[in-house]
Every structure is written in structure tokens, then in C-alpha cells.
Amino acid sequence: MADNGEFSFTNKAAGMNLVDRSRLPRIHTHVNKNGICHDDSAQPVKAQTIDELHSLQKKKSAPTTPIKDSSNASTFSVISDEERQKLQLQSISASLASLTRETGPKLVKGDPARKSETPRVAHHHHDYFTPTISVSDSALKFTHVLYNLSPAELYEQAIKYEHGSFITESGALATLSGAKTGRSPRDKRVVKDETTAEELWWGKGSPNIEMDEHTFLVNRERAVDYLNSLDKVFVNDQFLNWDPEHRIKVRIVSARAYHSLFMHNMCIRPTPEELEDFGTPDFTIYNAGQFPCNRYTHYMTSSTSIDLNLARREMVILGTQYAGEMKKGLFGVMHYLMPKRNILSLHSGCNMGKDGDVALFFGLSGTGKTTLSTDHNRLLIGDDEHCWSDNGVSNIEGGCYAKCIDLSREKEPDIWNAIKFGTVLENVVFDEHTREVDYTDKSVTENTRAAYPIEYIPNAKIPCVGPHPKNVILLACDAFGVLPPVSKLSLAQTMYHFISGYTALVAGTEEGIKEPQATFSACFGAAFIMLHPTKYAAMLAEKMQKYGATGWLVNTGWSGGRYGVGNRIKLSYTRRIIDAIHSGSLLDANYTKTEVFGLEIPIELEGVPSDILNPINTWEDKAAYNATLLKLAGLFKKNFEVFASYQIGTDNKLTEEILAAGPN
């Protein structure tokens, strides 16, 4: 012990001496007049409890769409915030109202898990709506409404409450869609009433399977009762169609944060001003996909049912959690509503050049629609769903829904880079430790998907609108190898091939396929159209003629023989063809006509070998070419039989013109 009373240890054997503590500087504290020591390095927080401190972290905000034309912005309403919240909850309660009871459920805004938290000092009221009459057990409880949450808030909800939700290495939210990993077209039903019986396409070839009004109401009641039984529901109020003159207000009520985030990305996100003036939606989705339908109910063939009532403007989802049902269900609604306004709804990609020239791309899976419509030299208006009105073209959606199987940074850099915070990754497989996604893994499904806002694409045009199209490009992957790489189409030919919607499946596209199989999908989206295909085709021809657009048929498939014999047309050649279409130079080429299909094909095109422009030149066995050509023509004719008897207008002239434009 040292003389000053403090210990000092030495270890001479180890050659170490510990520092004498008497030489260390002493710690000084400040003493106020009351004799209390305190740390005056920073001002104390303005909170009395830890919950109150947490509440100070967050301030009120509203979701927005990144870029908005301020000239169209409406002024904020003069009503109080409390009154506005009450009206909002009244509207949502009306949406969730049972048809057998007089009122909707009691609603309160916010997460039920946070109801015990200390509120901010400045707020003493609660945002809730209580119906005036209570006639059921469900009226004894409050349902919490999580309204238009941000992606960050939805991440928290998904990770905390939804098993199978994880943040991946890139920041995207990985989720599972349950037993169903794709759409269930055989379980989709449309109410057939006096109006829809006359307006919609029914019967052979139609995707519309009928149900009656009563059965719809039974399923609606089942979905609403399920949603009202939950402690909380997610509500999204959003828009469809970037053209403000023709946009549709949609409300999505769902039970999962995954579904809410998916629709947040896929629909157009309102600004705070637009949200305040939202009012009553034009269309409502009740997504009770975790709850099955009653298989003893009439028209039900499984525990899954996706029901559309166009008169009530409502959609009910039971027995499937696959989010794509909501996206494509709303697309079907637009296929019904838009033609009533003389607006053509289209299942297509769309881009625009620097000079304002717009091109539409139609094509089924495997034709290269995504690859060719995504061009770094052109602005992307949209990748999947569009409207063509007298104002020009507009994207229906606010996001993209991209396939992820075998995705790589090299092949699809834009999609790869879009998979970041805010993106939903469906049914992907990832490393349990690093959370790195393996896009080649098909353990859950081959139909892995990414849903992200369109502004995640660097060259996206915001707002997603453009002038009238200059070119309409129909893509086909002809695995029979007899269609030319590019053909200029007449209006009648454009209608014929648009109605046909041809491509060919090859090995690797579906299991068990060894030889090419022709597949046809009317209007390149038969599963989603509501009216007869010829009605959409007639509208397309009318708009093309009115605004001077040219139709093209581009084959991205095989040349020199069918699949397994010939070779796939090089992507570089197809890109040169597309570039020549965009520039207008292909219009000035010299043309010749092919046999059987009667297609106008260019004799030469810069950057593309002239011998492949006419497919017969690339076949060594000319007899085999002619036989394959006639075989494909026969398949076209057989497919078109279902449309041939449909009369357009008062006479049959247009139908005859379309038939004459097909193979002879």
C-alpha cells in the first residue's frame, strides 16, 4: 500500500509496472445551488416515460407518388383533421358493412399492438368510428384499420406477424403466398346479370365463368365476416390509370401486410392532397384469401373462389393468398370499364423515344416483350397494362411485376437493381444466413416474382403517359421456324394476328414438351379480357387508322428449321429490326409478299442478313418448309373458328375482312 493510502501493484518478474492511480486526472462534476450533481452536456428530452419518448420519434406523414404535376394539385380541405379521419373511417366501415346488417363494423385507426402506448402529449382524441346500431357480436369489438401504410411500416407488420417474411440481402421483403403460387383461372367467377349477359363474352373460348348474384353475396358475406373478425385489417386507397381524366379509385381491404405492400407497389400511389379528397372508391377488393370458400355453395368447384361483380363494382377473394389475383382482377375490371368510355385497354408493354414516338409491344411469355420494350435509349411508360384514349397512351399501374426465375444482373440489370427496399419478392429461396436470394432455385415454385414501384426503373417516364402510338408491334416466338423475322401488317392483318395472339411453346417452357406446340391467347391476354376479342380488335384498328399507327409482326423464334433443327433468331438482329421500326426507316424498305400468310416482308434491312428475312431461304429442305408452313396455317384457321361466326356491327363486312387477312 502506498503512503497516500492507494494501492499500487507491481510485477517485476514480468517486467511490468502498473500506473500509479494517483497520477490519473480526477473526474469533476458540477454541483448546482441545491447541491445536486448533474450532467449538463445536453438538454434533457421532453418526455416523462419511455413510451412517450418513442412517440416523439415519429411524426405524421402520407404516402406520395414521387413526381406530380403541381398545376393539378388540389388545395387542402378546410375541415379539421379529426373530422377528416372520421369521414375516412365512415367510408371504410361502409365498405366492410354486412349486407344483412344495417351498419358496418366499429373501426379504430392504428395497430392494435400499440394501443397501450402512451399517446403524444398534444393529442387527446382517438380516431374511430362507431356505427349507430349494433345487432351482432361483431359490433361489440373494434377492428383496427391500418390505412395506406408506408413500405417501412408494412415491413414491420410482415416480419412481426407473418410467418415466412424476411428481409433479403438487397433489402427486399421476401414473402410466401401459401399453397397457391399462381393464378387460379378455373376458380374465377363473374356475376351474370341482365347487363353482363349482353355485354360480356360468354361460352367457348371465353375466360368468363358465370355465377349468380346470390352466390356472389354469399361469398361476399363470408369474406366480410372474416375480415371483421380480425383484430386489424389493411386498407389501401389508390388509383388505376395515370391519365387523370380517366383514372379509377380503388380500395383494397386485406388481412396481410404482404398484400397491402404488393398493391402499394402495383397501383398508383396518391399524394396527400389526393388522399384527402379520395371519398368513395369506384371499385373495392375484399381479399380474405386466408379463408376458404364454402365448397357446398353453388358454382364452387374448390376451396378457392375469385368473384367479380361488375354491377356492385366489387371483387371477393377466398381461398388463395397469391397477390397476382388482385392485380389481374383489376385489369379485368379495366377491360370492362374503359371500352365503355371508348378507351382501349391493352395487355402490352409501352415505351417512348426521345422524339416522342411511342411503340406498343404485345407478346406472350417467352416472346421477348419485356426485353424489347425495356430499352435504355427509350423511356419506359409501362411493362404490362395500358390504356389508349383520345389523350394518348397511359399506364394503368404504378408498378412492375417481374418474373424472377433465373434472374441475373447481366441479363436483366434493371429488374436486378429494382429489387431493393420496398420491393416484394414472392416465393423465392434464399440463404438462411446471408439472406442472398438464389434465383435459380425452384423449390417453392418456378413462378417467382418481384413487385416494385415503376420509379425503381431508371428510365421510367413519370407520369406514365405518352402521345398516340406510332407503331404497334406484335411479337411471336415461332418455334416452327416459318414466320419471317419481321412483317408489315395491314389493318385487317393486325386485327387478325391481334385476335389470334400466337406463340409456340418449346421444351423448357413447360414440362413434357419435346416438339413445338402452338398456343393462342386472344388479344395477347385472353385470361383477362371481358368483351369479345373482336371488339378490342376493332377499337385497335380504329385508333391505328385515326392516329396513323403501323402494325408489325416480329418473330423472335426460329429460323432455318423448327425448334431442334434450326436456330433461334439472334437477339442482335431482332434489336436492329426494332430500331428500324422506331426510326421509321423500315417503312421506306422494298417489300415482297410471302405465300400462304400473305405477309409483306422487307427485301433487305441494314444490319440483318438478307437471306433470313424470307424464311424459305434458310431451310435446306424446301418441302419440309412448305409442309410446316401449311401445318401452322391450319392451326391458325382452327383457332380462329371460334371467332369467325361473331358479327361486328350491323353487317358482316369487318368480320369478312379479318378472315380474309388470315392464311389462305
> Where are the strands (E) in 479-623, listed by range?
486-489, 502-505, 517-520, 550-555, 558-559, 567-568, 591-593, 600-602
Which of 346, 377, 349 shows the shortest CA–CA distance to 575? 377
DSSP letter (8 states) at residue 235: E
Could you count the other beta carbons within 10 Å of the beta carbon of residue 521?
Answer: 20
347 belongs to the catalytic site: yes
What own/partner pairs with CB < 8 Å and gap ≥ 24 does 539-543 have? Answer: 539/339, 539/342, 539/344, 540/344, 540/346, 540/388, 540/472, 540/494, 540/495, 540/498, 541/491, 541/492, 541/494, 541/495, 543/344, 543/388, 543/468
- Residue in the structure block whose three cell numbers are 366480410: 224
- For the chain, state the CA radius of gyration: 31
In the set 106, 449, 488, 497, the catalytic residue is: 449
Give the type of residue at 436: E
In the set 328, 532, 562, 582, the catalytic residue is: 328
468 belongs to the catalytic site: no
Q: From residue 588, how far is each of 360, 362, 537, 583 by CA, in Å?
A: 20, 23, 26, 11
For the chain, the residue count is 664
449 belongs to the catalytic site: yes
> Where are the strands (E) in 454-549, listed by range?
465-466, 469-476, 486-489, 502-505, 517-520
DSSP letter (8 states) at residue 140: G
86 belongs to the catalytic site: no
Q: How far apart are CA 522 and CA 501, in angstroms?
A: 5
- Residue in the structure block whose three cell numbers are 416438339: 515
280 belongs to the catalytic site: no
In the set 188, 347, 386, 488, the catalytic residue is: 347
In the set 106, 183, 232, 269, the catalytic residue is: 183
In the set 243, 384, 414, 478, the catalytic residue is: 384
Cell of 88: 375516412
DSSP letter (8 states) at residue 405: T
Asked whether 170 and 420 are in contact (CB, 8 A), the reply is yes
Asked whether 438 and 429 are in contact (CB, 8 A), the reply is yes
183 belongs to the catalytic site: yes
Q: From residue 397, how far is each of 75, 247, 294, 468, 517 by CA, in Å?
A: 25, 10, 33, 18, 32
Q: From residue 252, how far is each of 148, 155, 265, 314 by CA, in Å?
A: 10, 18, 13, 10
Per-residue b or e along 328-358, where b marks 16 or more CB atoms closer than 10 Å to that residue's CB? bbbbbbbbbbbbeeebbbbbbbbbbbeeebb
Active-site residues: which are they?
A: 183, 328, 347, 365, 369-370, 384, 449
